[in-house]
Amino acid sequence: MTRISLKKNEDRRIKAGHPWVFSNEIGRIEGASEPGAACELFDVSGTYIGTGYHNPHSLIAVRLLSRQHDDIDSVAFFEQRIAAALAHRRSLYPGMETFRLIYGESDFLPGLVVDKYGDYLSLQLLSAGMDRRRGLILEALQRLLSPKGIIARNDVAVRTMEGMTEEVELLQGSIPDAVLMQENGLTFEVDLRNGQKTGGFLDQKENHLLLQGISKDTDVLDCFCYSGSWAAHAGFFGARSVLGLDISERAVALAGRNATLNGLSDRVSFEECDAFDRLRSLKLEGRSFGVVVMDPPAFVKNRKNLAEATKGYITINRRALELLGPGGYLISCSCSYHMGREPFREMLATAARQAKREVRLVTARSQAPDHPVLLNFPESEYLKCFVLQVV
């Protein structure tokens, strides 16, 4: 097995629990190493730190899977890790059949994401190390869950940074054109082949409940609505009307089907449009809303475009606040890790000043607990969901 030694003073973060070793932190590599091959990590004095896999072509050169001398190239290893993750989700959500089963580093399986949609699994192999072990992963998943189908949604750009191709691949069984999932008493259609990410977004399921109470008997605007989850929840919780906006024709069609599935098409409607432009025209039309939901895709792909992305966040949130009167609510979200919690709060304060609105923070949330956060791995916390009220 390849032996990798860190440079002097480069072990503190890793010994504290962070699972990544960057290429510039490595002092010495002993033995040949192919992308994704197993390795053992040591500090400069030769003390063992952990076992993981190495990719000599990646900025994240080593990802640790174990702090013990485990055999990470065995089905038993993956079965034990996945079983522990499954038990945790079962304790969080008794009886629920749709959830994130594996959340990478937070479940001590860096580079692997697995979402469970009832009898079907959608996974992402985001690193060369996990892609190399796909056979072991599939066998462990089959033993534990016996799914009817497993699809790999590997059509993500991060794979190219690991020297891999982007692709969608059926790995086992069959996948229907649409899978139905339950969330908070509602039913949603999920497209595992062509939908965003693994097919759906499971990280906002508890935040959707924030609409209960505040959306009743009011008009709600849902920007960047995708499959219509926020919109459907608003209608379900008694909104007078709900308008969802998305630039994708496919998303608008899916959102419409989900409204119909839940008997909400009489009060929930959708428009295919650019949300930035539509927010401006709604103001010109004199429209107002009691609740605006702002849940855009990730604007900040990396630190380099943070300043430019912040301007975009300010613009859409300012325009949203301009559509709210006294007592109205803005639910504003960011799924960009590089937009930190405090900068996000500062951005919202700037948007409020520009909109000439006095607002108060009602609550601030993060991702659902089936997307667990490791305290020593801040990269595992990405979602911000702030509820503001105009006063």
Catalytic residue numbers read: 335
Helix (H) or strand (E) holding 84: helix 75-92
Beta-bridge partners for 365? 385
Question: Per the structure block, which two tokens stand in for 142?
Answer: 């089959």
CB 359 within 8 A of CB 322: no
Question: Per the structure block, which two tokens stand in for 337?
Answer: 């890790």
Count of helix runs (H) and strand runs (E) in the chain: 9, 20
Alpha carbon 217 to chain centroid, angstroms? 31
Beta strands 289-294 and 219-223 are parallel
Alpha carbon 3 to chain centroid, angstroms? 33
E-only strand ranges, 212-272: 219-223, 241-246, 268-272
DSSP string, 262-279: TT-TTTEEEEES-HHHHH
Return the half-sphere exposure (C-beta side, CA atoms, 13 A cut-off) of residue 318: 16
Closest alpha carbon to 125 in 59, 35, 17, 241: 35
Amino acid code (one letter) for 164:
M
Beta-bridge partners for 220? 242, 291
Alpha carbon 13 to chain centroid, angstroms? 25
Q: Please report, for residues 30, 36, 37, 41, 131, the alpha-carbon distance to residue 1 in angstroms, rounded to integers and kept in the order given.
A: 9, 12, 8, 10, 18
User: What is the per-residue burial (b if ≥16 Cβ within 10 Å, else e) of 265-296?
Assistant: eebbbbeeeebeebbeebeeeeebbbbbbbbb
Amino acid code (one letter) for 182:
Q
